[in-house]
Amino acid sequence: MLAPFFKRKEQDGTDRAVPASGAAAPEKPVHASQAAQAVEEQVEEQPARPAAPSAAPSGRMDKLSLDLLGAAEQIIQAKLLAEQKISELQDRLHQAGGHIDRLNRDIRNLDQMVGERDQSIADLEQRLAGKNLKVDQVLEDYRELQRAMSAEIEGLKGMLDMEGTKYRTLLQKHNDTVAEHAAKRNELEERIAKLEIENGHLNSKVESQRQEKAYLDRMINDFTSRMTAPFEKGAKPRSNHPEGSGEL
């Protein structure tokens, strides 16, 4: 590639072409617009310059051709660089577009997930509200039941106190009745013992009277048989009667 040339104006108005490779100053990049402007200025300045000797026009035309060639190279290089930068920027733009599309998809997915989570949270809140209502209802029922049970317990305590009083009264009566029955039983046992003793005495008397009656019956029977014997068979010897049967 040919080395670019830069156009420099001296104080005396003459143009000099200084190659970038042999110049002391560092090379500066020339944009396409600047190169085109320099070419236009050179074209405009050519008619205004006075005529030179015969050897000068050929040398100036060589310098002009070199300047135009350098400007054209700079334009081509600037165009290539611009196209390369544009291609790189397009690639970066395409990559950025793909990344933006992925980010948009991720955002849509996240929005969908957030919507689903919000719906789940709303459902859970609704269910929780229903559960809270049920819990409140259960607590209210429990309080009512507790109040009813407390009233019933108080009533049962009153009834229990009454029944306890009745039980103690009946127990006292039972103890009194048992004591009375025990006293009567002891009394009856004493009377029974006395009556048994008297019955024993009476039995003894009855037995003695029975023996005495039996003895008297035998005496009467003997006396009757002794008195009626002579009249039944006539005169019988006295020896036929048992001895001592008529003795008292």
> For 94-111, what is each residue's pLDDT tens digit?
898 888 999 999 999 999
> For 186-212, what is each residue's pLDDT tens digit?
998 898 898 889 888 888 888 898 898
Average pLDDT over residues 175-195: 90
Return the structure tokens found at 95.
């990559």
Buried b (16+ CB within 10 A) or exposed e, 94-125: eeeeeeeeeeeeeeeeeeeeeeeeeeeeeeee
As a residue count, the chain comes to 248
At 224, is the pLDDT very low, low, confident or very high (cuts 50, 70, 90)?
confident
- For residue 119, pLDDT over 80 is answered with yes
What phi and psi values does residue 202 have, to the nearest 5 degrees? -65, -40
At 171, is the pLDDT very low, low, confident or very high (cuts 50, 70, 90)?
very high
Our CA dihedral for 110, 111, 114, 120, rounded to 10 degrees, sits at -120
pLDDT at res. 199: 86
Domain ranges of the chain: 1-20+30-46+59-180
Question: At a CB cut-off of 8 Å and minimum separation 6, what does 67 contact?
Answer: 5, 7, 17, 38, 39, 42
- HSE of 129, CA atoms in CB hemisphere, 13 A: 5
Please name which of 45, 40, 20, 15 lies closest in space to residue 30, comparing C-alpha atoms: 20
Task: Tell me the H-state helices in the chain.
Answer: 32-48, 55-233
pLDDT at res. 202: 87
Average pLDDT over residues 41-45: 50
Return mean pLDDT, the chain.
Answer: 75
At 41, is the pLDDT very low, low, confident or very high (cuts 50, 70, 90)?
low
Q: What is the rounded distance in angstroms from the CA atom of residue 233 to the CA atom of residue 77?
A: 205
Q: What is the rounded distance in angstroms from the CA atom of residue 245 to the CA atom of residue 224?
A: 11
H or E element: which one contains 17? strand 15-19
Please name which of 42, 138, 31 lies closest in space to residue 74, comparing C-alpha atoms: 31
pLDDT at res. 30: 43
Please name which of 15, 18, 5 lies closest in space to residue 52, comparing C-alpha atoms: 15
> For 129-151, what is each residue's pLDDT tens digit?
888 888 888 999 999 999 999 99
Please check whether residue 196 is in contact with residue 189, taking contact to mean a CB–CB distance below 8 angstroms: no
